Amino acid sequence: MKVIFMGTPDFSVGTFNALLEAGHEVVLAVTQPDKPKGRGNTMQFPPVKETALLHGIEVYQPRKIREPECIAYLENYQADIIVVVAFGQILPKEILEMPKYGCVNVHASLLPKYRGAAPIQWAVINGEKVSGVTTMRMDQGLDTGDIIMKQEVALTEEETGGSLFERLSKTGAELLIRTLQAIEEGSAVYTPQNHQAATHTTMIKKQLGEIDWNKSALEIERLIRGLNPWPSAYTHLHGKTLKIWRATVAQSQTEREIGTVAAVLKNCLAVQTAKGLLLLEEVQLEGKKRMTTDAFLRGFPIEVGTKLGKE
């Protein structure tokens, strides 16, 4: 099929490549504008743009896709279908109805659960046992369109936002190719979503990573995994930011104040939470490299009773 591909971050790239490998003709890649990054504010291409240029595919980067000139620009390509994977803008009705087969979205959750932004991280943070990918025919709502196909993915006990991201990216790419084949053959089934069963997620912001020690060790451990690698969970130690990259839960309690170091062990720091101890196993102090806690303690000794968090 003749395809217009819309996507922006790394998650979109696997599906983009799968389209090309499957022999579909991607006539245009639509992505968000370049953004400045780093201390030098150097302009950086979105991952989808980098991939498109690598394959010699034209790139279009509208600031607002719903502008009349943008709609007219897309019409010129007479695409059979538009594939959307984490593009980052809401498509207007004119674009949704433009292609022969409409617009198909690859969403990293089992809709109608986890509509909206960052479903991957929230699945880990909320302790879901199963996540997955849904392909749907887009409508004017936010992730409300008819479901075409779903593929479940079981989460492991060590699952991080990063590891689930990689797994769902691969699953989404495979599911889209099957979906397009069904659409082209006329065998695709479009199932309306149960809107009453819908749940919604919000964007992940850096502030979400600040650990609240008044929560249980289990909740904090899931937050750490969900926000690994970005934006990461963190606390404060002697006025400096301390990122927590890996931790485990111990159900035992102590009489120590919540948020204080209850024990300094060989390979970890045990911190008292509202319920249970959180064993910090991999950390990164502001200005330092990421390291195991035993290595950290050799250069930065911590005493029992040390308070973590903002002073």
Distance between CA atoms of 19 and 173, rounded to whole angstroms? Answer: 8
DSSP state of 257: P
Decide: residue 198, CB within 10 A, 0-12 exposed, 13-18 middle, 19+ buried: middle
Q: In sequence order, which residues have a C-beta less than 8 Å from that of residue 111 and are 6 or more positions away?
A: 134, 136, 143, 147, 150, 193, 198
pTM of the model: 0.94
Task: Report pLDDT for 41.
Answer: 78
Strand-pair category, 2-7 with 25-30? parallel
Q: Which domains does the chain have, with CATH numbers?
A: 2-201 (3.40.50.170), 206-299 (3.10.25.10)
> Tell me, what amino acid is at 97?
E
Q: Is the pLDDT of residue 39 over 80?
A: no
What is the dihedral angle through the alpha carbons of 136, 138, 139, 142, rounded to the nearest 10 degrees?
80
Taking only the tens place, the pLDDT of each residue in 239-266 is 999 999 999 999 888 889 999 999 999 8
Task: Report pLDDT for 23.
Answer: 97
Taking only the tens place, the pLDDT of each residue in 82-135 is 999 999 999 999 999 999 999 999 999 999 999 999 999 999 999 999 999 999
Taking only the tens place, the pLDDT of each residue in 138-174 is 999 999 999 999 999 999 999 999 999 999 999 999 9
CB 269, CB 262: distance < 8 Å: no
Distance between CA atoms of 107 and 131, rounded to whole angstroms? Answer: 11
